[in-house]
Amino acid sequence: MDASDGSNENVLSFAHWVRDMITLMRSGTPGTVPLFESSVPEPVDMLAEVIRNAFRDGFPDSYKSVFMRNNPDISERLAARYGVPEESILCTTGATTAVSMIYTGLLSPGDRILVETPGFDIFANMARDVGVEADFFRREAPGFGISVEGVLDALQPDTRMVVLTNLHNPSGAYVSDETLAELARALEARGVLLLLDEVYRDYLGTAGPGLDPRQHENVLRISSLTKIFGLSTLRCGWIIAGRHLLRRLRDYSERADFNVSRLSHCVAAEVLARADKFDAWRNEMMATARPIAASALGEMAEQGLIQTGVPLLGCTCFPQLIGVGDTRSLSQWLSAKHGVVVVPGECFGAPGYLRIGYGLPPERLTEGLGRLSRGLAEYRANGQKRHSA
């Protein structure tokens, strides 16, 4: 069962799950390993160094007004990073605000959107909050790719937008720019927008600049510093889109998000000025983490505990559990009995799966995956004993 069948029986709010789990971790036994994180850790030492250097002699030149405009330094650096015109960028207070602005600024009550499943529940939930209905199309396991024809077949007459994550949340699967361009052209011919959540795309490193808004004027791309650098504290996100869509969004943002934090976006500009260092830090951490995760997951697969599928490209993966359907109960048991926290598939409309975040330092990651492996083996053994009793 998944979110596409309209049932809520096996659908669990991710936000509520995180709230409850963090409350449990804060009040429980110390030493829990959080394999539920969906980015690299916050690089506090690097951030502190950036702030010290930038503000050593007072406010830096990047401390500029953001009232009803982007911080110009951010626009310039994002344009260079993604190979797009500065005028195609709209800065926001994070990626979540960007989604809200897009829904409210471009859609009307009664419209429909088409959202992937398994997927991050915020896309459908935020749409419903503004009177927009959400339909679903499947990204099939184990590869979690997309079929252009499959997406088109799932469109309704009043579908106005298709929503995709790339890299896919939760599996980390990658859809090529060629496939996305083909989908964008087909949707444009039908008068449908394409929203690409790209908050994990930079983990690829060699993915290229992405779809050009000058060639695909029905495409909106969103991202932020939260996932690519672990800097949620800066609340700096952005939308990349063609001039017609961005004009409509700017009109809306001047009413709804017209004054993002001047200080926060100043620091974000200073970070982006040193993006090569932050990219290198993230890439080095993931280059160390991925072999550790791949080895541990491979061993779990050999033991018949999980089924793997997608190459480890981002910082999360989404293996299927063998012989376990209720992963909500399993995740609670793993936390209580083995001190390891993973996200149950019910949070993404896919019971029987676990989302594992592996963007951790090697010692912490090795410990967490070891606990997970031992916990899954014990859970299966206990289950077999119950069935044989």
Q: What is the pTM of this model?
A: 0.92
Q: Where are the alpha helices (DSSP H) in 11-147?
A: 14-27, 44-54, 72-82, 94-106, 122-129
* 123 and 265 Cβ atoms separated by less than 8 Å: no
The residue whose two tokens read 């989908």 is 183
Q: Which amino acid is at 388?
A: S
DSSP H/E element including 239: strand 237-241
CA distance 23 to 41: 19
Residue 4: what pLDDT?
A: 40
DSSP strand pairing (159-165 vs 354-357):
unpaired
Residue 8: what pLDDT?
A: 45
What are the φ/ψ torsions at residue 113 (nearest 5 degrees)?
-120, 160
DSSP H/E element including 196: strand 193-197
CA distance 353 to 170: 10
Residue 3: what pLDDT?
A: 42
The closest alpha carbon to 169, from 114, 124, 117, 208, belongs to 117
The closest alpha carbon to 81, from 260, 207, 179, 263, belongs to 207
CA-to-CA separations, 28 to 20, 38, 179, 363, in angstroms, rounded: 12, 22, 46, 22
Residue 56: what pLDDT?
A: 96
Q: What is the mean pLDDT of each run of 10 residues along the chain (389 residues)?
A: 41 77 68 90 97 97 92 96 95 94 96 97 95 97 96 98 98 96 98 98 84 96 97 96 94 76 96 97 97 98 94 96 95 92 95 97 97 96 59
CA distance 54 to 48: 10
DSSP state of 178: H
Domains, the chain, with CATH or none? 3-42+277-379 (3.90.1150.10), 44-275 (3.40.640.10)
B/e letters for 304-318, b = 16+ CB within 10 Å, e = fewer, are: ebbebbbebbbbbbb
CA distance 159 to 193: 9
* 127 and 104 Cβ atoms separated by less than 8 Å: no
Longest dimension (CA), the chain: 73
